[in-house]
Amino acid sequence: MDEKNLIKAAKKGDDGALAELFQSSYPFLLKYLLKLTFNLQNAEDLAQETYSKAIENLSRFKGTSKFSTWLISIATRLYLDQERKRKREFNWMKQEQSVRKLKWEAQSNNQVWDDVLEALGQLNDGLRVPVILKHYYGFSYEEIAAIISIPEGTVKSRVHKGIKVIRKELTPIDEGSVRISKTLSQE
Protein backbone atom coordinates (compact mmCIF):
# COMPACT_ATOMS: atom_id res chain seq x y z
CA MET A 1 0.00 0.00 0.00
CA ASP A 2 1.32 3.48 -0.78
CA GLU A 3 1.42 6.35 1.75
CA LYS A 4 -1.87 7.96 0.70
CA ASN A 5 -3.78 4.71 1.05
CA LEU A 6 -2.10 3.97 4.37
CA ILE A 7 -3.16 7.41 5.65
CA LYS A 8 -6.73 6.85 4.46
CA ALA A 9 -6.85 3.46 6.19
CA ALA A 10 -5.27 4.89 9.37
CA LYS A 11 -7.86 7.67 9.46
CA LYS A 12 -10.59 5.06 9.25
CA GLY A 13 -9.14 3.41 12.37
CA ASP A 14 -6.80 0.80 10.91
CA ASP A 15 -4.07 0.54 13.56
CA GLY A 16 -1.99 -1.73 11.31
CA ALA A 17 -1.78 0.96 8.62
CA LEU A 18 -0.85 3.60 11.19
CA ALA A 19 1.82 1.30 12.67
CA GLU A 20 3.24 0.82 9.17
CA LEU A 21 3.35 4.60 8.63
CA PHE A 22 5.09 5.08 11.96
CA GLN A 23 7.63 2.38 11.26
CA SER A 24 8.53 3.73 7.83
CA SER A 25 8.90 7.29 9.15
CA TYR A 26 10.81 6.33 12.30
CA PRO A 27 14.42 6.54 10.94
CA PHE A 28 13.71 9.90 9.28
CA LEU A 29 12.09 11.34 12.40
CA LEU A 30 14.72 10.03 14.80
CA LYS A 31 17.58 11.35 12.68
CA TYR A 32 15.91 14.75 12.55
CA LEU A 33 15.39 14.81 16.31
CA LEU A 34 18.96 13.70 16.89
CA LYS A 35 20.16 16.75 14.96
CA LEU A 36 18.12 18.97 17.25
CA THR A 37 18.79 17.30 20.59
CA PHE A 38 22.23 15.68 20.11
CA ASN A 39 20.96 13.10 22.59
CA LEU A 40 19.72 9.66 21.52
CA GLN A 41 17.59 9.03 24.62
CA ASN A 42 15.93 12.44 24.37
CA ALA A 43 15.40 12.01 20.62
CA GLU A 44 13.70 8.64 21.21
CA ASP A 45 11.46 10.10 23.92
CA LEU A 46 10.49 12.99 21.65
CA ALA A 47 9.77 10.56 18.81
CA GLN A 48 7.39 8.65 21.10
CA GLU A 49 5.70 11.91 22.11
CA THR A 50 5.44 12.92 18.46
CA TYR A 51 3.66 9.68 17.65
CA SER A 52 1.29 10.18 20.60
CA LYS A 53 0.39 13.64 19.28
CA ALA A 54 0.04 12.24 15.77
CA ILE A 55 -2.45 9.62 16.99
CA GLU A 56 -4.47 12.31 18.78
CA ASN A 57 -4.49 14.67 15.79
CA LEU A 58 -4.59 12.24 12.89
CA SER A 59 -8.10 13.34 11.90
CA ARG A 60 -6.74 16.91 11.41
CA PHE A 61 -4.02 15.81 8.98
CA LYS A 62 -5.21 16.97 5.56
CA GLY A 63 -2.66 15.06 3.53
CA THR A 64 -1.46 18.09 1.58
CA SER A 65 2.11 17.44 2.74
CA LYS A 66 4.03 14.21 3.22
CA PHE A 67 3.35 12.28 6.42
CA SER A 68 6.98 12.65 7.52
CA THR A 69 6.80 16.44 6.98
CA TRP A 70 3.75 16.58 9.24
CA LEU A 71 5.62 14.54 11.87
CA ILE A 72 8.59 16.91 11.65
CA SER A 73 6.38 19.92 12.35
CA ILE A 74 4.89 18.18 15.43
CA ALA A 75 8.35 17.10 16.61
CA THR A 76 9.80 20.61 16.20
CA ARG A 77 7.04 22.16 18.29
CA LEU A 78 7.46 19.50 20.98
CA TYR A 79 11.21 20.03 21.04
CA LEU A 80 10.92 23.82 21.31
CA ASP A 81 8.35 23.47 24.11
CA GLN A 82 10.67 21.10 25.93
CA GLU A 83 13.57 23.53 25.59
CA ARG A 84 11.46 26.43 26.86
CA LYS A 85 10.62 24.41 29.98
CA ARG A 86 14.25 23.37 30.33
CA LYS A 87 15.47 26.95 30.16
CA ARG A 88 13.14 27.79 32.99
CA GLU A 89 14.74 24.99 35.01
CA PHE A 90 18.27 26.19 34.17
CA ASN A 91 19.13 22.83 32.66
CA TRP A 92 21.39 24.24 29.95
CA MET A 93 24.28 22.21 31.34
CA LYS A 94 22.47 19.01 30.36
CA GLN A 95 22.44 20.12 26.70
CA GLU A 96 26.17 20.81 26.87
CA GLN A 97 26.77 17.38 28.41
CA SER A 98 24.62 15.60 25.83
CA VAL A 99 26.51 17.24 22.94
CA ARG A 100 29.77 16.09 24.51
CA LYS A 101 28.38 12.58 25.04
CA LEU A 102 27.18 12.24 21.45
CA LYS A 103 30.49 13.63 20.19
CA TRP A 104 32.38 11.11 22.28
CA GLU A 105 30.14 8.26 21.08
CA ALA A 106 30.54 9.33 17.47
CA GLN A 107 34.31 9.58 17.78
CA SER A 108 34.68 6.28 19.61
CA ASN A 109 32.71 4.56 16.82
CA ASN A 110 35.00 6.17 14.21
CA GLN A 111 32.06 8.27 13.05
CA VAL A 112 32.13 11.78 11.70
CA TRP A 113 32.14 14.65 14.13
CA ASP A 114 33.68 17.58 12.34
CA ASP A 115 33.94 21.30 13.02
CA VAL A 116 30.65 21.97 11.24
CA LEU A 117 28.71 19.68 13.59
CA GLU A 118 30.61 21.17 16.51
CA ALA A 119 29.56 24.68 15.39
CA LEU A 120 25.98 23.51 14.81
CA GLY A 121 25.89 22.06 18.32
CA GLN A 122 26.98 25.40 19.76
CA LEU A 123 24.11 27.28 18.09
CA ASN A 124 21.08 28.03 20.22
CA ASP A 125 17.77 26.39 19.31
CA GLY A 126 16.32 29.61 17.94
CA LEU A 127 18.97 29.56 15.21
CA ARG A 128 19.72 25.83 14.83
CA VAL A 129 16.15 24.71 14.11
CA PRO A 130 15.50 27.17 11.22
CA VAL A 131 18.97 26.53 9.73
CA ILE A 132 18.45 22.74 9.67
CA LEU A 133 14.89 22.98 8.39
CA LYS A 134 15.81 25.45 5.66
CA HIS A 135 19.10 24.15 4.39
CA TYR A 136 19.04 20.43 5.12
CA TYR A 137 15.35 19.58 4.83
CA GLY A 138 14.51 22.19 2.20
CA PHE A 139 11.49 23.77 3.88
CA SER A 140 10.45 27.22 2.65
CA TYR A 141 10.62 30.25 4.96
CA GLU A 142 6.83 30.30 5.01
CA GLU A 143 6.62 26.65 6.10
CA ILE A 144 9.24 27.16 8.84
CA ALA A 145 7.37 30.25 10.06
CA ALA A 146 4.21 28.15 10.36
CA ILE A 147 6.03 25.33 12.17
CA ILE A 148 7.79 27.54 14.72
CA SER A 149 4.95 30.08 14.90
CA ILE A 150 7.10 33.14 14.25
CA PRO A 151 6.95 35.74 11.44
CA GLU A 152 8.56 34.85 8.10
CA GLY A 153 10.96 37.80 8.35
CA THR A 154 12.23 36.53 11.70
CA VAL A 155 12.88 33.11 10.16
CA LYS A 156 14.90 34.70 7.35
CA SER A 157 17.03 36.72 9.74
CA ARG A 158 17.56 33.71 12.04
CA VAL A 159 18.67 31.48 9.16
CA HIS A 160 21.05 34.17 7.95
CA LYS A 161 22.39 34.78 11.46
CA GLY A 162 22.80 31.04 12.07
CA ILE A 163 24.90 30.60 8.92
CA LYS A 164 26.91 33.68 9.83
CA VAL A 165 27.68 32.24 13.28
CA ILE A 166 28.70 28.86 11.80
CA ARG A 167 30.90 30.62 9.23
CA LYS A 168 32.55 32.61 12.01
CA GLU A 169 33.18 29.41 13.98
CA LEU A 170 34.70 27.75 10.92
CA THR A 171 37.01 30.66 10.07
CA PRO A 172 40.56 29.65 11.04
CA ILE A 173 42.04 31.72 13.86
CA ASP A 174 45.14 32.43 11.71
CA GLU A 175 42.98 34.12 9.07
CA GLY A 176 41.51 36.39 11.71
CA SER A 177 44.94 37.27 13.12
CA VAL A 178 46.29 37.98 9.62
CA ARG A 179 43.40 40.38 9.09
CA ILE A 180 44.15 42.13 12.40
CA SER A 181 47.88 42.40 11.63
CA LYS A 182 47.10 43.81 8.17
CA THR A 183 44.84 46.42 9.72
CA LEU A 184 47.50 47.30 12.29
CA SER A 185 50.23 47.60 9.64
CA GLN A 186 47.99 49.88 7.56
CA GLU A 187 47.57 52.15 10.57
Partner 1 sequence: MMKDQSGYPKRSAKNDQDVVDQLNQSLEKFDVAISFETPHPSHFKEKIKIQRAESKKKRLRELLIFTVTAAVILSFLFFALYLQPEMFLLLQVLTVVFICCYTVHVKRKVKMSHE
| Residues engaged in binding partner 1 (CB under 8 A) | 15-16, 18-20, 22-23, 26-27, 30-31, 34-35, 40, 48, 51-52, 55-56, 84, 106, 109, 111-112, 114, 116-117, 120, 131-132, 134-141, 150-151, 154, 156, 160, 163-164, 166-167, 170
Q: Cβ–Cβ contacts within 10 Å for residue 54, how many?
A: 21
Nearer to partner 1 (CB atom), residue 106 or residue 185:
106
Q: Cβ–Cβ contacts within 10 Å for residue 11, how many?
A: 14
CA pair distance 55, 47, nearest whole angstrom: 12
Nearer to partner 1 (CB atom), residue 63 or residue 153:
153
Closest CA to 54 of 30, 72, 38, 34: 72
Nearer to partner 1 (CB atom), residue 107 or residue 187:
107
CB of 187 to partner 1, least distance (A): 25
DSSP 86-97: HHHTT-HHHHHH
